[in-house]
Amino acid sequence: MSAKSTLSDEPKSTGPGSARDGTDRDKYTLRLYVAGQTAKSIAAFANLKRLCEEYLPGRYKLEVIDLVENPQLAAGDQIFALPTLVRRLPPPLRRIIGNFSNKDKFLIGMDLKEGD
Amino acid sequence: MMKMAKRPDSNGHGLAKVPSGISGLDEVTNGGLPKGRPTLICGGPGCGKSLMGIEFLVRGATQHGEPGVLMTFEETQEDIRKNVMSLGFDIDELIRRKKIIIDHVKVDRQEIDENGEYDLEGLFIRLGYAIDKIGAKRVLLDTIESLFSGLSNQAILRSEVRRLFYWLKERGITTVITGERGDGKLTRQGLEEYVSDCVILLDHRTINQISTRRLRVVKYRGSTHGTNEYPFLIDEQGISVLPVTSISLNHVASQQRVPTGIPRLDAMLGGKGFYRGSSVLITGTAGTGKSSVAAHFAAATCAGGERCLYFAFEESQNQIIRNMASIGLDLSRYVKKGLLQFVAARPSLHGLEMHLGVMHKHIQQFKPTAVVVDPISNFISAGEERDVHAMLIRLVDFLKTLQITVLFTNLTTGDMARETTDMGISSVMDTWLLLRDIEIGGERNRGIYVLKSRGMAHSNQIREFVISERGIDLLDVYVGPEGVLTGSARLAQEASEREEQSRREALTVRKQAELDQKKRALDAQILALEAQFAAEKDMMLRDMGVERTREKTLENLRDEMGRSRRADPYSTTGNGNSSERTKR
């Protein structure tokens, strides 16, 4: 719960556009699905937060959804694995599942880096 | 949950089962699927595993008061709706009534990146949410293996799938999991390792261009189950696993008799016809009149106000009606009355199981008391002889439990093949009539005899079987030194016997006349002799009278002379002589 409540307070942190490939107009709308206040959830959120702050400062909006509280939201966004980050914007829609332990994979997923 | 311990297994081990509601499957599994446990249904593409799973949900929701959740990984709700519409399931209505929830889990590798560790808790939450929403007791996962192709971390997937099954078991949900058949394994991902309770294997084979679906219960822990391969079919009423009824030999044996439609044939069968609920086989070579006997039986059934179902595998309804009209049998009126129903199909149209299933359905719908299958020989072309045998046993068992009399016709070729071909089938039959050609004197005639008829004193006689425009008649045949005489030979024999008879009669009459004449002659002779005797007797009597008179006269005369001579009255004789002498 605290993950959601504490984290949703700061969805729009704006900073200087420092992304290599992006422009200032790029806005990322991200939604992180987790299940409860578990160690896994917290670790995933911490990793994600760190990456966003580093590579998308001021350009992202992050919403955290706890499916234990809102199970009805799982089907709508086609969630089956947790944690899942849904990149709603910019298109195309992408899903990243896992705890974001791999920085390069995150950057590829955000189109911030070319895939191998 | 309350029903957990409600349905103990028939073998007494207390393993609770829930009826799947799929026709025949509950018989094969002795009661249904393990309650509150997962069941794996696996098979190749297009084997019907998804449909079987969906029917399990629909039957649960509609017939057993158990709502269900369908978690589909491949097809969308719209696809499923369309697919099951053809089975007569209105899934939209069930969804509206909150009896079924369909949740399509889309696993698209294109839009998924894996980054680090994850679990499938999202799936658990979705499923749990859907289950709670409608109070589901049943879940179908179709096909969870899609996860394995959509995600790359197989180790996580395996442990999560295992956890999912365990979780469902904990919640007491009866689950069906479908799995695609893999190389050397029941499923590609080896799901059978996780589902240890019940595994059902489906198969869809095409042999001789005829497709057949089969089902086998590979494993059913803690329960007895049928171990054979059971054919099943999918049609507009869902799935039917055959046998629809369990195969057993505990039918009621009726004492009631039903007429054959041919009075002389009734007479041959102990005077009363077939037993109700018995199986009758009529074999014969082409053109011996098998169908005509069958049609007479059908007509007799309808004439008694009962329903008869006629499966025609060689001729169309119109053809049969026309042909039977030509021998004076009007079947069309029974069709109009709704007592007679024809089901005509080419045997090669379906596989055997499909035929059997179709027959089952028609029988259950029409509820006849008699069934005609004309002929069964064509089924050999639709399947192996052994399969045909198995199918007929099932059909006969099914009909016997319903006390329906069934008459099969079987076309045989040549004398050699006949006995062997029929032996396999005949063991199932209670009554076996054999129609045969009898070729004598340049013509072919039909003979009928009762080869066997269980439970009745039947005739051992061959009868000549005559089909005319007035129907079928059975006639006595002549058995002579050259065998059975029929047709013209019989007529000739009859004629010559008649001639002989009249000749003998004429002779008798003549002899009698002769005898009469002789008697008359004798009588006449006797009369003549008597007359002669009488005449002689009269003569003699008259002579005797004359003599006596004369003597008397002489005596009187002598007395007078004696008196006149004063002779001694004591010496009459001497005096007589002397007197006679004297007189002279």
A22 pLDDT higher than 50: no
Least confident of A82-96, B150-164, B227-241, B480-494: B480-494
| Chain A closest-CA separation from residue B181 CA (Å) | 24
pLDDT value of position B163: 93
B64 touches chain A (CB under 8 A): no
Q: Two tokens at B119?
A: 């679990």
pLDDT tens readout for residues A39-78 = 889 999 999 999 999 988 888 999 999 999 999 999 988 9
Least confident of B12-21, B203-212, B418-427, B456-465: B418-427
For residue B220, what are the β-bridge partners? B198
| Chain B closest-CA separation from residue A108 CA (Å) | 9
B414 pLDDT higher than 70: no
B236 touches chain A (CB under 8 A): no
A3 pLDDT higher than 80: no
| Chain A closest-CA separation from residue B23 CA (Å) | 33
pLDDT value of position A17: 41
User: What are the angstrom distances between the C-alpha of A24 and each of A17, A31, B230, B367?
Assistant: 6, 20, 67, 79
Are B336 and B481 a contacting pair, CB within 8 Å? no
Are A30 and A52 a contacting pair, CB within 8 Å? yes
Are B213 and B204 a contacting pair, CB within 8 Å? yes
How confident is the prediction for chain B on average, in pLDDT? 83
| Verdict on whether the full-model pTM lies above 0.80 | no
Confidence of residue B423 (pLDDT cuts 50, 70, 90): low
Which chain A residues contact residue B151 at CB under 8 A? Answer: 81, 97
CA pair distance B350, B355, nearest whole angstrom: 6
- Yes or no, beta carbons of B125 and A35 under 8 Å apart: yes
pLDDT value of position B182: 80
pLDDT value of position B424: 67
What type of residue is B341? Q
Q: Give kind and range of the element (H or E) at residue B408.
A: strand B405-411
Q: What is the mean pLDDT of residues B557-570?
A: 74
B107 touches chain A (CB under 8 A): yes
Residue B330, SS3?
A: coil
CA pair distance A9, B507, nearest whole angstrom: 136
Q: Give the ranges where B406-486 is alpha helix by DSSP (H).
A: 415-426
| Chain B closest-CA separation from residue A67 CA (Å) | 7
Confidence of residue B345 (pLDDT cuts 50, 70, 90): confident
B161 pLDDT higher than 50: yes
Least confident of B108-112, B335-339, B569-573: B569-573
- Say which of B113, B118, B126 has its CB closest to residue A109: B113
- Say which of B112, B117, B125 has its CB closest to residue A67: B125
In degrees and rounded to multiples of 5, residue B156 shows phi and psi of: -65, -45
- Say which of B113, B117, B130 has its CB closest to residue A95: B113
B129 pLDDT higher than 90: yes
DSSP state of B23: B
Least confident of B394-408, B438-452, B476-490, B534-548: B476-490
B154 touches chain A (CB under 8 A): no
B582 pLDDT higher than 60: no
B247 pLDDT higher than 60: no
pLDDT value of position B72: 94
Q: What is the mean pLDDT of residues B130-148?
A: 92
- Yes or no, beta carbons of B116 and A99 under 8 Å apart: yes
Which chain A residues contact residue B118 at CB under 8 A? Answer: 81-84, 97-99
In this structure, the number of other CB atoms found within 10 A of the CB of residue A35 comes to 22
Are B158 and B21 a contacting pair, CB within 8 Å? no
In degrees and rounded to multiples of 5, residue B105 shows phi and psi of: -95, 110
Residue B245's closest CA among B382, B95, B401?
B401
B526 pLDDT higher than 90: yes
| Chain B closest-CA separation from residue A3 CA (Å) | 17
3-state helix, strand, coil in chain B (%, to 5): 45, 25, 30
Separation of CA B332 from chain center? 23
Confidence of residue B420 (pLDDT cuts 50, 70, 90): low
- Say which of A35, A81, A95 has its CB closest to residue B111: A95
Q: Two tokens at B327?
A: 């021998």
In degrees and rounded to multiples of 5, residue B175 shows phi and psi of: -120, 140
Confidence of residue B332 (pLDDT cuts 50, 70, 90): very high
In this structure, the number of other CB atoms found within 10 A of the CB of residue B568 comes to 10
| Chain A closest-CA separation from residue B115 CA (Å) | 5
- Say which of B112, B118, B126 has its CB closest to residue A83: B118
Query: B22 CB contacts (<8 Å, ≥6 apart)?
Result: B52, B55, B56, B59, B238, B239, B240, B241
Q: Which residue of B has its CA nearest to A110?
A: B113
